[in-house]
C-alpha cells in the first residue's frame, strides 16, 4: 500500500488566491482527518470525516476553509481566499479502527 497520499507537497501562493489541498486515504480506511501544524499552535485537528460524512468541523478556523470528501478515496481542503497566516504544514490522516496513518503533508506558504 502506498500509504496516505497528499498533493501537492509544497504550495506557494499569493494572498487572496484559492488553494486546494488533496488527499487520498489508505484503501479500506473509513475515517479521514485534516490537521494543520504551525510552530505557534502545534498540531490542530481541522475536520474529520467518517464514511465520507463530516463528523466534526469545529477546528476549521473560519469560513475561508472548507473540506469535502466526495468518495472514500479522495478529499480536498480548500482555502479561499488565502492569507499569510494560513502558512503551515497541512496533514491528512486516515484510519480504520484505532491507528491514524499520516500523509507526508503539504507545506503551504502564502505570500
Partner 1 sequence: AQSVTQPDIHITVSEGASLELRCNYSYGATPYLFWYVQSPGQGLQLLLKYFSGDTLVQGIKGFEAEFKRSQSSFNLRKPSVHWSDAAEYFCAVVFFGNEKLTFGTGTRLTIIP
Q: Is residue 105 a contact point for partner 1 (CB under 8 A)? A: yes
Residue 111 binds to partner 1 (criterion: CB under 8 A): no
Please say whether the beta carbons of 101 and 24 come within 8 A: no
One residue of 48, 86, 88, 110 binding partner 1 per CB under 8 A: 48
Binding region for partner 1 (CB under 8 A) out of 19-27, 40-48, 66-74, 80-88: 40-48
User: C-alpha grid cell for residue 58?
Assistant: 469545529
Quick note: the x/- pattern for partner 1 over 62-91, rule CB under 8 A, is -----------------------------x
Q: Position of cell 489508505?
A: 26
Amino acid at each position: 500500500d502506498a500509504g496516505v497520499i497528499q498533493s501537492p507537497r509544497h504550495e506557494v501562493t499569493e494572498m487572496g488566491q484559492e488553494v486546494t489541498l488533496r488527499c487520498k486515504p489508505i484503501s479500506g480506511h473509513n475515517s479521514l482527518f485534516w490537521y494543520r501544524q504551525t510552530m505557534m499552535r502545534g498540531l490542530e485537528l481541522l475536520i474529520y470525516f467518517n464514511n465520507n460524512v463530516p463528523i466534526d468541523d469545529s477546528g476549521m478556523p473560519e469560513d475561508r476553509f472548507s473540506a469535502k470528501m466526495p468518495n472514500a478515496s479522495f478529499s480536498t481542503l480548500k482555502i479561499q481566499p488565502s492569507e499569510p497566516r494560513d502558512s503551515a504544514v497541512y496533514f491528512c490522516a486516515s484510519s480504520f479502527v484505532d491507528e491514524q496513518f499520516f500523509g507526508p503533508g503539504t507545506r503551504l506558504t502564502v505570500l
